[in-house]
């Protein structure tokens, strides 16, 4: 089967020849240059035989578009920039946000052109997914990247101002998505950093997450066909919260990362039982599976083989894509990622 054909068959619950394989990693040295980033993305996809493309936009692009002062690093192993001044410093700043003019903003135009070029290269033969964060996740990234504390304080003390910000960020997302769909994307990689039970109560998720997330998904419903929810982090994930999210075809999360209490992870089997209709994407511990003390290729491959077989067994069907739970590591040689495809070709046939 060809790559798009394979993914469509998974989405439609039809028979596939083998499970899928894909990966993505930050490209901090090129991700703000349209020409170089497109070439690097296509090269990375083809070198590894990925079944879909996840456009790995730099994680600060909304903050960048809204005027953040960012010192970009020159270390290829460091994806995150040094944000010296955030667009949002308090709840008043959040409430004062304006909907961005995506047609005039150079950052959004850069991301749209990247999507257009990569989609134009593949012409539908490989699904291309744009990276979008949920509105509450963008609020966090524009306030204190990856640090939930300032937003949690705003939720508790100034909920009305938070809602104003979320409406603004949703509308900007929707206008941006319109242009991305015009550019030809097949779907989105929708990332949330708030689906952790220890961060938000059920009532807070109902108030500050679900209405905005669902509005975003409703906007692209029937206009895209392969949309993935990336549930960020690994411990105590609230997968039950997404049962009524329409327009999602796939789920991605860290199912096997090494943590002190492994029982706090969510297995592929658990998610399959909750979501029998979804394509499940994961199976790899991106932090540990690509290295060993002897730099032994066959030992790494054997780890990946076991991971693949476990993922296939827990999924129980062909609707599984062998992939990392988050971004692939930047501190290993990229050649090692080709082993993912090797084990899928050898062991990933669907009987």
Distances (CA, A) of 265 to 21, 58, 257: 22, 27, 8
Q: Is the pTM of this model over 0.95?
A: yes
Task: Determine the pLDDT at residue 279.
Answer: 98
115 contact partners, CB below 8 Å, separation of at least 6: 55, 128, 130, 180, 183, 184, 185
Task: Determine the pLDDT at residue 351.
Answer: 81
User: What are 178-184's contacts with CB under 8 Å, separation 24+?
Assistant: 179/102, 179/103, 179/108, 179/112, 180/111, 180/112, 180/115, 180/130, 181/220, 181/223, 181/224, 183/112, 183/113, 183/115, 183/116, 183/119, 184/115, 184/116, 184/119, 184/120, 184/124, 184/128
- Closest by CA to 221, choosing from 196, 200, 249, is 249
Are 19 and 348 in contact by the 8 Å Cβ rule? The answer is yes
> What's the whole-number mean pLDDT along residues 78-101?
97
Q: Quick one: what percent of the chain has pLDDT higher than 70?
A: 100
Q: Which of left, alpha, beta for 184 (phi over 0: left; psi -120 to 50: alpha)?
A: left
Binning pLDDT at 50, 70 and 90, where does residue 91 land? very high
* Domain enclosing residue 262, as ranges: 3-347
CATH code, domain carrying 140: 3.20.20.210
Task: Determine the pLDDT at residue 68.
Answer: 98
Q: CA-based angle 131:98:172, to the nearest 5? A: 25
Could you read off the pLDDT of 268-278 as tens digits, one per residue?
Answer: 999 999 999 99
Burial of 276 (0-12, 13-18, 19+ CB in 10 A): exposed
> What's the whole-number mean pLDDT along residues 104-125?
98
Residue 343 has pLDDT above 90, yes or no: yes
Task: Determine the pLDDT at residue 153.
Answer: 98
Taking every pair of C-alpha atoms in the chain, what is the biggest distance, in angstroms? Answer: 58
Task: Determine the pLDDT at residue 302.
Answer: 98
Q: How many domains does the chain have?
A: 1
> What's the whole-number mean pLDDT along residues 17-41?
98
> What's the whole-number mean pLDDT along residues 208-224?
98
Could you read off the pLDDT of 135-149 as tens digits, one per residue?
Answer: 999 999 999 999 999
């Amino acid at each position: 089967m060809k790559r798009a054909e394979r993914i469509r068959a998974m989405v439609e619950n039809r028979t596939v020849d083998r499970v899928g394989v894909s990966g993505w990693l930050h490209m901090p040295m090129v991700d703000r240059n349209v020409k170089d980033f497109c070439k690097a993305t296509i090269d990375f996809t083809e070198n590894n035989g990925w079944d879909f493309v996840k456009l790995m936009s730099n994680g600060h692009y909304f903050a960048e578009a809204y005027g953040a002062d960012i010192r970009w690093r020159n270390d290829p192993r460091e994806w995150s920039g040094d944000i010296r001044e955030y667009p949002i410093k308090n709840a008043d700043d959040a409430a004062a946000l304006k909907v961005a003019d995506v047609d005039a903003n150079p950052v959004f135009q850069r991301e749209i052109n990247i999507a257009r070029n990569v989609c134009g290269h593949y012409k539908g033969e490989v699904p291309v997914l744009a990276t979008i964060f949920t509105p509450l996740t963008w609020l966090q990234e524009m306030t204190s990247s990856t640090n939930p504390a300032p937003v949690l304080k705003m939720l508790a003390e100034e909920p009305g101002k938070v809602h104003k910000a979320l409406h603004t960020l949703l509308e900007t997302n929707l206008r941006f998505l319109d242009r991305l769909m015009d550019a030809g994307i097949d779907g989105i990689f929708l990332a949330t950093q708030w689906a952790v039970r220890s961060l938000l109560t059920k009532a807070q998720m109902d108030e500050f997450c679900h209405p905005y997330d669902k509005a975003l998904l409703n906007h692209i419903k029937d206009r895209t066909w392969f949309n993935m929810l990336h549930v960020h982090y690994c411990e105590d994930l609230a997968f039950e919260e997404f049962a009524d999210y329409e327009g999602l075809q796939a789920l991605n999360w860290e199912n096997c990362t090494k943590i002190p209490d492994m029982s706090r992870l969510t297995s592929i089997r658990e998610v399959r039982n909750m979501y029998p209709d979804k394509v499940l994407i994961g199976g790899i511990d991106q932090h540990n599976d690509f290295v060993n003390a002897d730099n032994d290729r066959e030992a790494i491959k054997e780890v990946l083989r076991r991971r693949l077989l476990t993922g296939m067994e827990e999924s129980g069907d062909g609707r599984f894509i062998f992939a990392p739970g988050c971004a692939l590591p930047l501190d290993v040689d990229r050649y090692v990622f080709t082993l993912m495809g090797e084990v899928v070709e050898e062991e990933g046939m669907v009987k």
